[in-house]
Amino acid sequence: MFKKILIANRGEVALRIIYACRELGIKTVAVYSEADENSLHVRFADEDVRIGPPRSADSYLNVPQVISAAEITGADAIHPGYGFLSESAYLAEVCEACHIKFIGPTPQVIRLMGDKARARRVMKKAGVPVLPGSDGPVESEEKALKIAKEIGYPVIVKATAGGGGRGMRVVRTPGELPHAVKTAQREAEAAFGVGDVYLEKYIESPRHIEFQILGDHHGNVVHLGERECSIQRRHQKLVEESPSPALGRKMRRKMGAVVIDAARAVQYTNAGTFEFLMDPEGRFYFMEVNTRLQVEHPVTEMVTGIDIVKEQIRIAAGERLSVRQSDVSFTGHAIECRINAEDPETFVPSPGVIEVFSVPGGPGVRLETFAHSDCVVSPYYDSLIAKIITHGRDRQEAIARMRRTLEMTVVEGIKTTIPLHLRIINDPDFVEGKLSTAFMDRFLSRPAGNRLAEAS
């Protein structure tokens, strides 16, 4: 087992890793930027190294500084957390060269999954369902019509060089297709200088469902069930839960087997998450694999009782998984709300000094945060200040516990998204488990009267 782990991160995830290391009796090294001098992760790590100025590119994203910090402190492993360098194949490679264990998958797997087109091909070959599409640019109207007929309407026309919603057109009937292809090509040409477009099946109001897996270096792979993360705004997850209200035991077992086979096919090791879209008919389509710990990992830990961070550390140290698939069971229901330092109406970031910070505990409440009274929320990093996770016998109890926790949480000095979370978990669709990635758009476009009524 490792003697000393360097944590190449900050905030609540750095603390989360310190918790795991303390429980395992492993020493920790914190790294920090000038902006984080007084942070809790620096205070509670056994050693700390200042690695640069506040800007992430010069500190938390600076591979030579991180490696040097590991070398001068004699750390034998690096845990990258999430964000920052967590999906850097380069850091994983440099670690290998320096004989420091990178707590994550191999550089080859990180690189493969980072290339979305290659990952899609590999997954398709491994038997994972992917969105039907044109598998390349479509040159002519005739070809577009032929492919659209094969995959079925609605389809989405996308620029191959695209991103940010530009060069995208949803098409519901063959009559609209020729015009949509031309418009998308023109937009793509103007925006990216490349007019190539391709077709893909368009899923209306899908659910975001992801499977957590763990793989060791002895060929063992288990899945820890799914998380539903459909409550998103601009692709940022706000509320996550496990299990998904839309999945039964049979489907969980089926999809779990699919991801285990896929993970084995690429010799996946350490923790990973397979993300899928699920259409209203319950069909799954592969999106991507995240080769790291996820922000929402606590909901899985709450329902399975498995400490994912400790498993990651043991796996990296060469140990076997502590559980077999038959040992993995699911108890109750867990929900996580990501509390951001943002205006709950306008989403404008709200950095500053937190004067008062108090989250009540009680049965089934878990808090992951770096915040405390009199602490600074720096403008340099992302706005996540706390994750509140509640666990109950069933979804209803988990929601009730989340509601009373949010109602009794006091944060003064900055604005937070707590009022938004309260509205979300009180929404009738949410309570009934009618979730989709379109939920937030619909929710936010509703007249403000509803909000005022709740505020009074």
Partner 1 sequence: MAAPMIRMDLEQLKHILELVREHNLAEFEIEQEGLRLKVRRDSGSAGMSAAGAPAAVAGLLAAPAAAAPPTPVPESTAAEEEGIELAVVKSPIVGTFYRSPEPGAPAFVEVGTKVKKGQVLCIIEAMKLMNEIDSEYEGEIVNIYVENGQPVQYGERLFAILTT
Binding positions for partner 1, rule: CB under 8 A: 34, 37, 47-53, 59, 64-65, 67-69, 71-73, 94, 98
Supply the minimum distance, in Å, between the C-beta of residue 43 and partner 1: 12
CB-CB neighbours of 307 under 10 Å: 17
CB of 67 to partner 1, least distance (A): 5
Indicate if 292 belongs to the active site.
yes
For partner 1, which is the closer residue by CB, 153 or 380?
380
Q: Where are the alpha helices (DSSP H) in 57-176?
A: 63-73, 89-97, 107-114, 116-125, 141-151
Q: How far is the CB of 150 from partner 1 (least distance, A)?
A: 53
| Minimum distance from residue 89 beta carbon to partner 1 (Å) | 17
Query: Alpha-carbon distance 125 to 60, whole Å?
Result: 36
- Name the residue nearer to partner 1 (CB basis): 32 or 202: 32
Tokens of 157: 């026309």
Tally of CA atoms within 13 A in the half-sphere of 390 that contains its CB: 23
Are 70 and 51 contacting, i.e. CB atoms less than 8 angstroms apart?
no
Nearer to partner 1, 127 or 379 (CB): 379
Alpha-carbon gap, residue 81 to 7, rounded angstroms: 7
Residue with tokens 């010069």: 58
Q: Which residue's CB is nearer to partner 1, number 43 or number 146? A: 43
Q: Which residues contact 280 (CB under 8 A, 6 or more apart)?
A: 204, 205, 206
Tokens of 325: 């698939």
Pick the closer one to partner 1 by CB: 27 or 252: 27
**CB atoms < 10 A from the CB of 431, how many?**
12
Contact in structure between 243 and 282 (CB atoms under 8 Å): no
In 9-46, which ranges are E strands?
27-33
The residue (of 6 and 157) whose beta carbon lies closer to partner 1 is: 6
By C-alpha distance, which of 436, 440, 455, 82 is closest to 238? 440
The minimum distance between CB 36 and partner 1, in angstroms, equals 12
Helix axes 63-73, 89-97, angle to 10 degrees: 30
Q: Which of 10, 16, 111, 292 is catalytic?
A: 292
3-state helix, strand, coil in the chain (%, to 5): 40, 25, 35
Q: Which is nearer to partner 1, 34 or 288 (CB)?
A: 34
Q: How far apart are CA 454 and CA 152, in angstroms?
A: 43
* Closest separation in Å from C-beta 379 to partner 1: 18
Mapped onto helix, strand or coil, the DSSP state of residue 274 is strand
To partner 1, the closest distance from the beta carbon of 450 in angstroms equals: 48
Q: Which residues are catalytic?
A: 292
